[in-house]
Amino acid sequence: MAEHDLFEAEESALRAAADTHALDSLDARSYRDALGTLITQFRRQVREARRVIMHSDRQERELNILNARLTQLAAELDYKAKHDSLTGAYNRRAVIELAEAHLRDGALALIVLDIDNFKRINDEHGHPAGDAVIVELVARLRAVAPEPVEIGRVGGEEFTVVLPGMELEAAVALAERMRAQVASSPFDIPAGRIVTASFGVSFTPCGGMFTEAYGRADAALYEAKRRGRNSVAS
């Protein structure tokens, strides 16, 4: 079966016009008819070309919208993979990756903290109240955290603050400001309740291991707890 020529009508009109143009003895009507046929076919081709272009433009717009949506979904998935859904802080895996990346390039201070007597809050007021306390605590930490401080939630009521390039003394001072900010006034939920947290701080030079940095900060946190909670140790 012969392939159909999409431009068969236009080619036929063009050949007829060319044949007419080659003849010197035709009358004006013959030239007019040939020109009219050529005009008709040209107009049809223009309409078809315009339709194809409009269809192509519409497809391009739809593809652009789809690509933008896919880019947005990829960004959302990447965000969800790295952040805690309750607080928007980094999750445990992201904290480890961030700390390890910083340690490859320089020194790192690390703060580990958890909420004092958090189980009692959940037992007395319910888990929704406990979630509200966690959200407000992160907001209070952020209120005093300078850039490029990165806050992560690494457990139920346990958090880590990653401090690239910060010396131990400065990190301890920041932890103290955070401790004071948390305990400065009652939380919204449970209404009128003062919430406190204990803090452990460590310093690790460039090339160190995250596990070592975290282990020292965690040990300092338990020392802060041993001292009576609502304190900072290093």
Q: Which helix (H) or strand (E) holds 56?
A: helix 28-82
3-state DSSP assignment of residue 163: strand
Q: What is the DSSP letter of 116?
A: T
CA angle 122/126/128 to nearest 5° reads: 105
Query: Which residue out of 157, 169, 176, 223 is catalytically annotated?
Result: 157
φ and ψ at residue 208, rounded to 5 degrees:
-75, 175
Amino acid at 197: A
φ and ψ at residue 159, rounded to 5 degrees:
-135, 155
- What is the spatial distance between Cα 63 and Cα 40, in angstroms, rounded to a whole number? 35
* Pairing of the two strands 232-233 and 197-204: parallel
Of residues 170, 145, 147, 143, the one with CA closest to residue 232: 170
Report how far apart, in Å, the C-alpha atoms of 60 and of each of 48, 49, 54 are: 18, 16, 10
* The pair of three-digit structure tokens given for residue 15, joined into one six-digit string: 């050949």
Q: Which helix (H) or strand (E) holds 128?
A: helix 127-144
Residue 157 among the catalytic residues: yes
Enumerate residues 6+ apart whose C-beta is below 8 A from 142.
151
Catalytic residues: 157
